[in-house]
C-alpha cells in the first residue's frame, strides 16, 4: 500500500492543474526516502523522472551534492496535493482503433454505446478513439466534473463520457456536419427529458456544461401544424418539456414511437370545437388506440392555449398534425438503423426496439466531455454555500440526495463556495484533504443555506478504500 501511494503521489499527473515549463531545483537529503517530506522543493514543484529514479533505489546518491539542477521540462504545477490522487482514481481511458471507411459501433465497459458514422473525420480513416465513462458518483469528484452549467444552473445527470480522437498522437475533431450518436444506459427507464451538454472548463479546471442546442433529446414534441380555411400554420416546440404527462403517458407515447420505422411521426387528429377553453377532438382514426388519443389531445392542449382566440375566430379548422421525434435515430440514416438492428436485435426489429429503450440516445457534433443531462427543476430561492477550511489543501463537493447531481466547490484560498443552490435542498457535503502524505475524508449532511460551514470532521482513509468510502457516505 505504501509504495503504491508514494508512487501515485510523486507521479504528479495532475487532473485539475495547469501546465507550465520551469526549472526545478531539488535538494537531496542524507537519509533514505520514506515520504514526500524527503524532498524540499521550490514553488511546490517536483520533477518526475529524476525523483522516480531516487525512489526506485530508495536511496540518495552518496557523493556530496549541494543541489541537483534539473533541465527545463514541461510539467504540472502543484495547486494542491490531491491532484495526483484524482489522476490515479479517475476513469481510465478505453482505446479503440477504428477505420471510418465504414460506420462502427463501440461499446464501453460501463454500458455506453457509440455509433461512429463512416467518414466522420473526413478523409482521415484510421482513428484511435479514446473513451472515458463516468457513471458512479465518486467518479464525478475524481474526474473534476460538476453537474452545473457555466451560468450556475443545477443539472441532474444520467451519465458523462469523454470522447477523444487521435491520429499519430495528434488530436482530431469531427468533420463539419458529422455527428456521433451516443447511447447512455438508463438506470431508471421512467426518467425522461434528458438532453446533451458539452464541456466548458472553468478557471479552477473543473468541467462545467453548455447545452448543445444541436444535440437532440432522446424523445420530444417537435412541431404542431393546424389546418383551417385552406391554411397551414406550424409551431415548433422542440425545447418544450412534456412534464405535464404522467410517466405512464410519456412512456406509452415514446414506446409507440420506438416501434415505428422513422424517427419522426406525425399524427392526424380532427378538431371538433372549443369547450371551456379546451380543444375537443374527434376519436376518428383512434378507435383501436384510445390511449394515444387521450395523450395527444393532452399534448396539444398544453401547448395551444395562446391560440384559443385564433381558433374561435376561425370556427372551421379541420385537422391538427402533432409531430413527435424519438431523436435517437437519424431520419435519413438507414445504415445506422440497419446496423443497430443487426447488432442489438439479432436481425429482429422488435428485439432492436426493446434494446433501444434501454438507452438515452443523443447525438453530438463536438468531442470532449459530454453530459446526458437535464435541468433540476425547482422553484426554491437560490443561495450560496460557504465552506471555511483550515488549509488550502482541501476540496469539497456537494452530492444531492433527491436527484443525481454533484457540485464541485470553487476555491478562494481557505474559503470555498458552491453557488446558486436551491435553499433547503438536502445533500451530503464531502470534504477531501491531503496532509503529511495522507488522505483524509470528511462529510456532513446539510440543507443548503448561507450559514458558513466550518465543522467538517475528517478521518484518515487509505487510497484503495477512498472510492468505497465516498459512495457509502452519499448513497
pLDDT at 114 over 90: yes
pLDDT of 158 = 94
Please say if the pLDDT value at position 98 is more than 60: yes
Per-residue pLDDT tens for 228-274? 666 777 777 655 677 788 878 887 887 777 666 566 778 888 888 87
CA distance linking residue 136 with residue 183, whole number of Å: 17
Q: Count the Cβ atoms, other than its own, within 10 Å of residue 343.
A: 15
List pLDDT tens digits, range 265-309: 788 888 888 787 788 888 988 998 999 999 999 988 887 655 555
Lowest-confidence segment of 99-103, 351-355, 393-397 by average pLDDT = 351-355
DSSP letter string, 404-425: S-EEEPEEETTEEEEEEEETT-
- Residues 48, 53, 54, 55, CA torsion sign: positive
Predicted TM-score of the model (pTM): 0.65
Q: How confident is the model at residue 422 (pLDDT cuts 50, 70, 90)?
A: very high
Q: What is the predicted pLDDT for the residue at 51?
A: 35
- In this prediction, residue 397 carries a pLDDT of 95
Helices (H) and strands (E) in the chain, counts: 10, 29
**Mean per-residue pLDDT for 188-216?**
78
Is residue 76 predicted with pLDDT exceeding 50?
A: no
Residues above pLDDT 70, as percent of the chain: 74
The per-residue pLDDT of the chain, averaged, comes to 77
Is 50 exposed, middle or buried, given 0-12, 13-18 or 19+ CB atoms closer than 10 A?
Answer: middle
Mean pLDDT of 354-359: 80
The CA distance from 11 to 88, in Å, is 9
More confident residue, 451 or 27: 451
Report, as an integer, the average pLDDT of 384-402: 91
Domains of the chain: 2-87 (no CATH), 92-215+330-375 (2.60.220), 220-323 (no CATH), 382-474 (2.60.40)
Residue 317 pLDDT grade (very low, low, confident, very high; cuts 50, 70, 90): low
Amino acid at each position: 500500500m505504501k509504495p503504491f501511494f508514494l508512487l501515485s503521489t510523486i507521479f504528479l499527473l495532475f487532473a485539475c492543474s495547469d501546465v507550465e515549463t520551469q526549472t526545478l531545483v531539488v535538494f537531496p537529503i542524507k537519509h533514505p526516502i520514506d515520504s514526500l517530506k524527503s524532498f524540499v522543493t521550490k514553488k511546490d514543484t517536483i520533477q518526475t523522472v529524476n525523483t522516480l529514479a531516487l525512489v526506485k533505489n530508495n536511496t540518495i546518491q552518496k557523493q556530496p551534492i549541494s543541489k541537483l539542477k534539473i533541465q527545463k521540462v514541461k510539467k504540472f504545477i502543484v495547486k494542491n496535493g490531491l491532484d495526483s490522487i484524482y489522476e490515479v482514481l479517475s476513469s481510465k481511458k478505453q482505446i479503440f482503433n477504428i477505420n471510418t471507411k465504414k460506420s462502427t459501433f463501440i461499446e464501453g465497459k460501463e454500458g455506453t454505446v457509440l455509433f461512429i458514422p463512416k467518414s466522420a473525420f473526413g478523409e482521415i480513416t484510421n482513428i484511435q478513439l479514446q473513451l472515458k465513462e463516468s457513471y458512479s458518483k465518486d467518479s464525478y469528484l475524481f474526474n473534476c466534473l460538476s453537474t452545473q452549467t457555466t451560468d450556475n444552473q443545477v443539472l441532474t445527470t444520467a451519465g458523462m463520457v469523454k470522447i477523444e480522437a487521435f491520429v499519430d498522437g495528434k488530436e482530431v475533431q469531427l468533420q463539419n456536419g458529422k455527428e456521433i450518436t451516443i447511447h447512455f444506459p438508463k438506470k431508471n427507464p421512467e426518467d425522461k427529458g434528458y438532453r446533451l451538454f458539452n464541456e466548458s472548463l472553468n478557471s479552477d479546471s473543473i468541467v462545467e456544461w453548455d447545452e448543445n442546442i444541436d444535440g437532440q433529446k432522446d424523445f420530444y414534441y417537435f412541431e404542431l401544424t393546424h389546418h383551417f380555411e385552406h391554411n397551414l400554420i406550424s409551431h415548433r416546440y422542440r425545447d418544450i418539456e412534456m412534464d405535464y404527462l404522467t410517466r405512464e403517458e410519456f412512456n406509452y407515447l415514446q414506446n409507440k414511437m420506438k416501434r415505428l420505422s422513422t424517427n419522426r411521426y406525425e399524427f392526424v387528429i380532427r378538431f371538433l370545437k372549443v369547450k371551456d377553453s379546451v380543444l375537443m377532438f374527434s376519436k376518428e382514426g383512434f378507435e383501436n388506440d384510445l390511449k394515444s388519443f387521450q395523450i395527444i389531445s393532452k399534448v396539444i392542449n398544453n401547448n395551444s392555449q395562446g391560440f384559443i382566440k385564433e381558433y374561435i375566430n376561425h370556427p372551421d379548422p379541420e385537422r391538427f398534425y402533432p409531430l413527435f421525434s424519438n431523436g435517437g435515430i437519424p431520419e435519413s440514416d438507414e445504415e445506422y438503423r440497419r446496423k443497430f438492428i443487426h447488432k442489438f436485435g439479432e436481425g429482429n426489429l422488435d428485439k432492436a426496439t426493446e434494446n433501444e429503450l434501454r438507452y438515452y440516445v443523443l447525438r453530438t457534433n463536438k468531442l470532449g466531455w459530454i453530459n446526458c443531462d437535464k435541468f433540476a427543476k425547482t422553484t426554491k430561492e437560490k443561495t450560496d454555500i460557504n465552506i471555511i477550511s483550515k488549509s488550502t489543501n482541501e476540496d469539497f463537493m456537494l452530492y444531492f440526495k433527491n436527484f443525481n447531481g454533484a457540485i464541485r466547490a470553487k476555491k478562494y484560498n481557505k474559503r470555498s463556495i458552491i453557488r446558486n443552490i436551491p435553499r433547503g435542498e438536502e445533500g451530503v457535503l464531502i470534504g477531501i484533504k491531503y496532509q503529511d502524505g495522507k488522505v483524509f475524508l470528511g462529510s456532513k449532511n446539510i440543507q443548503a443555506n448561507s450559514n458558513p460551514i466550518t465543522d467538517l470532521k475528517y478521518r484518515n482513509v487509505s487510497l484503495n478504500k477512498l472510492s468505497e468510502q465516498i459512495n457509502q457516505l452519499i448513497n
